[in-house]
Chain A
C-alpha cells in the first residue's frame, strides 16, 4: 500500500511540477500571452517587459552547436569501443567516458571559466577569426573581440558533457548487431570500416538517434556549466563570440533577484517552457531507445 503511494508519487511529481509552474507563471501568461512571450526579445525588469526569445535563442544555439561537436566524437568513441579496441581496453575506456558524465556540472563550469575560457580567448578564437573570418557569411559567426565568455565556449563545454550520453547509448546499440550479420559481410571481403558503415550503423541507427535525442534533452537543461561562461547577456547575435543567455542561465542568475511579481512570474514562465520542452524531448528519446532495444530498425 505504502509502496504503491511511493511510486504514484512520481506521477504526482510530474503533474505537480507542471501544475505549480503553470499557476506560478499565470500572471505572466495573462500579461504576455504565449506567442508574444516566445517571440519577444525584450527582457527588461525595469520596464517590466519580458520575452523568452533571447533565452530560447541562446538555448537553441548552444544546444545545436554542442550536438554538432559532440555527435561525431561520441559515435567515434562508440565505434572504437565496440569494434576497434582490444578486449582489455574496452572496459576501462568505457568507464573513463562514463566518468565524464559523473563529473558535476559545477566542476565543468569552474574549469570552463578559469581554464577553457582564457584558452579560447587567447588561442582558438583568434585562430578561428584568422582562418574563417574572411569568408562571407561564415565570417559573421566569428566577429567581435574574443573574450572567451561567449556562445562558442559554452557550446564546447556542453559538448564535452553530452559526449558520454550519446557514446554509451550508441555503444549499446552497436553491441546489439548480431555477429552473424557482421561475419557475413566480412566473408564477402568487406573491410572493417565498410562493415561498420554499411552493416553496424544502419542496423543500430534508431539507437544512435535515441542517444542523440537524449543528449539534446540533457543539453537543453544544463545550467551550471554554461552559467559560468555565457555572461547572461539578453541579446540575439550572429556572432558566436558574443555573450548571450540561455533559459537556464537566466533562471540561475535572476531568480533570487526578481523583485516584482511579474518578474518572478516571467521566470517561472521560462521554467515552464524549459520543463515542457525537455520533457517532450526526453520522452521521445526514451521511446526511441526502447524501440531500438526491442529489435533491429527496419
Chain B
C-alpha cells in the first residue's frame, strides 16, 4: 500500500466524519432555532390579560385566551380520564394474562401502528361516530378523539413497564396465597409505578399539542364555556385560526399560546425522562 493511498483514505475518513458531525449540528440548529424563535415571538404576547380575559371581537385590540386555556385543560383532563384507565387495563391484559400469547403480540403490534396513525384520521372517525349523530361539535367528541390517540401510547409504555417487573416477585406473592388480581394491584403495579406514571406524562404531552383531531370534534368557541356538550375552544385550534387570520394582535396571541404549549410539552417530556433515569440509577 502506497503512502498516497493511505493519505486519500485518511482524507476520506476526516471528510466523512466532519459531514456526520455537521449533520448533528444541523439537527441541533433546527431545535435551537425553533425554540428560540417561539420564545422570542411568544414572550412579547405573554401578559396577564392573556389568561384572565376572553377574546375580544375580531380586529379589536386586547382580550385574551382564557376560554382556550380552560377549554384545553378540560378536554385534556377528560381525555386522560378516559384514555389512561383503558390503556393501563389493556396493558395489564397483554403483560399478565396473555403474556407470550399470539393475541398479545398482535395487539401490541397494532397499538404500535396506532401510535403513528395520522391523527386527522382519528378526528374524521370521531366526527362520524359522535359529532354527526348528535348533530353538533362538542367537547366530549374532542376528549374522545384525544383519548383514542392516548390509549395506544399508554398501553405500550405500560406493557413494557409491567414486563420489566421480575416474574419471581409475582411468584413470591403467589406463594403467600395471593390471588392474581391482588398480585397485580399490590405487587406488579407498585413495582412499575414510576414507569407507568412516566408513560402517562408522555401521553399527556403527546395529546396536548394535537390540533388535527380537535378541528372537527371540539371545534372552537369564541366564548367562555365549560359545557362539554358544546363546542369547546382549545389552544391549538385557536393558534391555527389566529395564525391564519389577518390581525397582528391575533398573531401575537397565537405566538404566546404556542410558547405556553411548547413549554408545557418540553417540561413534561424532560420530566418523564428524568423520572426514568432516576429510576434506572436507583434500581
Q: Which of A10, A13, A114 has the most CB of B within 10 A?
A: A10
**Chain A residue at smallest Cβ distance from B23:** A76
Q: Is the CB of B116 within 8 A of A217?
A: yes
Give residues of chain B (29-56) contacting chain A, Cβ–Cβ below 8 Å.
30-31, 34-35, 37-38, 41
Q: Is the CB of B258 within 8 A of A107?
A: yes
Q: How far is the CA of A104 from the CA of B111 in the complex (A)?
A: 21
Q: Which of A6, A85, A167, A217 has the most CB of B within 10 A?
A: A6
Which residues of chain B have C-beta atoms less than 8 A from A13's C-beta?
Answer: 114, 148, 151
Q: Is the CB of B258 within 8 A of A110?
A: yes
Point out the residue from B96, B151, B212, B273 that lies within 8 Å of A9, measured CB to CB. B151
Q: A110-B255, A194-B13 known; A76 and B240 CB under 8 Å?
A: no
Q: A77-B27, A103-B262, A278-B116 known; A84 and B20 CB under 8 Å?
A: yes
Q: Is the CB of B211 within 8 A of A223?
A: yes
Q: How far is the CA of A4 from the CA of B94 in the complex (A)?
A: 8
Point out the residue from A9, A100, A113, A167 that lies within 8 Å of B90, measured CB to CB. A9
B12: interface (CB < 8 Å): yes
B219: interface (CB < 8 Å): yes
User: What 1/0 flags go to B198-231 for Cβ under 8 Å of A?
Assistant: 0000000100111110011001000000000000
Point out the residue from B106, B109, B124 that lies within 8 Å of A251, measured CB to CB. B124
B190: interface (CB < 8 Å): no
**Chain A residue at smallest Cβ distance from B254:** A110
Q: A20-B125, A80-B24 known; A14 and B261 CB under 8 Å?
A: no
Q: Is the CB of B209 within 8 A of A3?
A: no
Stretch from A89-97, A120-128, A131-139 contacting the other chain = A89-97
Q: How far is the CA of A148 from the CA of B30 in the complex (A)?
A: 18
**Chain A residue at smallest Cβ distance from B117:** A278
A186: interface (CB < 8 Å): no
A140: interface (CB < 8 Å): no
Q: Is the CB of A16 within 8 A of B125?
A: yes
**Chain B residue at smallest Cβ distance from A160:** B30
Q: How far is the CA of A4 from the CA of B210 in the complex (A)?
A: 28
A interface residue count range (under 10 / 10 to 19 / 20 to 34 / 35 or more):
35 or more
Give residues of chain A (97-122) contacting chain B, Cβ–Cβ below 8 Å.
97, 99-100, 102-111, 113-115
Interface of A is mostly: helix
Interface of B is mostly: helix
Q: Is the CB of A248 within 8 A of B212?
A: yes
Q: Is the CB of B243 within 8 A of A109?
A: yes
User: What 1/0 flags go to B237-274 for Cβ under 8 Å of A?
Assistant: 00110011000000100110010011001100110010
User: What 1/0 flags go to A135-151 for Cβ under 8 Å of B?
Assistant: 00000000000000000
B119: interface (CB < 8 Å): yes
Q: Is the CB of A102 within 8 A of B124?
A: no
Q: How far is the CA of A16 from the CA of B126 in the complex (A)?
A: 11
Which residues of chain B have C-beta atoms less than 8 A from A99's C-beta?
Answer: 31, 266, 269-270
Q: How far is the CA of A102 from the CA of B261 in the complex (A)?
A: 11
Which residues of chain A have C-beta atoms less than 8 A from B236's C-beta?
Answer: 104, 106, 224
Point out the residue from A74, A108, A196 that lies within 8 Å of B34, measured CB to CB. A108
Which residues of chain A have C-beta atoms less than 8 A from B251's C-beta?
Answer: 114
Q: Is the CB of A80 within 8 A of B90?
A: no
B173: interface (CB < 8 Å): no
User: What 1/0 flags go to A61-87 for Cβ under 8 Å of B?
Assistant: 000000000001111110111011100
Which residues of chain A have C-beta atoms less than 8 A from B239's C-beta?
Answer: 106, 110
A228: interface (CB < 8 Å): yes
**Chain B residue at smallest Cβ distance from A276:** B121
B128: interface (CB < 8 Å): yes
Distance (Å) between the CB of B236 and the closest chain A CB?
5
Point out the residue from B107, B116, B266 that lies within 8 Å of A7, measured CB to CB. B107
Q: How far is the CA of A20 from the CA of B283 in the complex (A)?
A: 46
Q: Which of B87, B121, B273 has the most CB of A within 10 A?
A: B121
Which residues of chain A have C-beta atoms less than 8 A from B26's C-beta?
Answer: 73, 76
List 26 interface pairs A-B (beta carbons < 8 Å), by A numbering.
A6-B85, A7-B94, A10-B152, A17-B122, A72-B23, A76-B26, A77-B24, A84-B20, A100-B31, A102-B205, A103-B34, A104-B209, A104-B236, A106-B211, A106-B239, A114-B255, A167-B27, A194-B9, A221-B116, A223-B119, A268-B128, A274-B118, A275-B118, A275-B121, A278-B117, A283-B113
Closest 6 CB pairs of A and B: A104-B209, A221-B118, A76-B23, A7-B90, A6-B89, A3-B93
B residues at A contact (CB < 8 Å): 9-10, 12-13, 16-17, 19-24, 26-28, 30-31, 34-35, 37-38, 41, 85-87, 89-94, 96-98, 104, 106-107, 109-114, 116-125, 127-129, 148, 151-152, 155, 205, 208-212, 215-216, 219, 236, 239-240, 243-244, 251, 254-255, 258, 261-262, 265-266, 269-270, 273
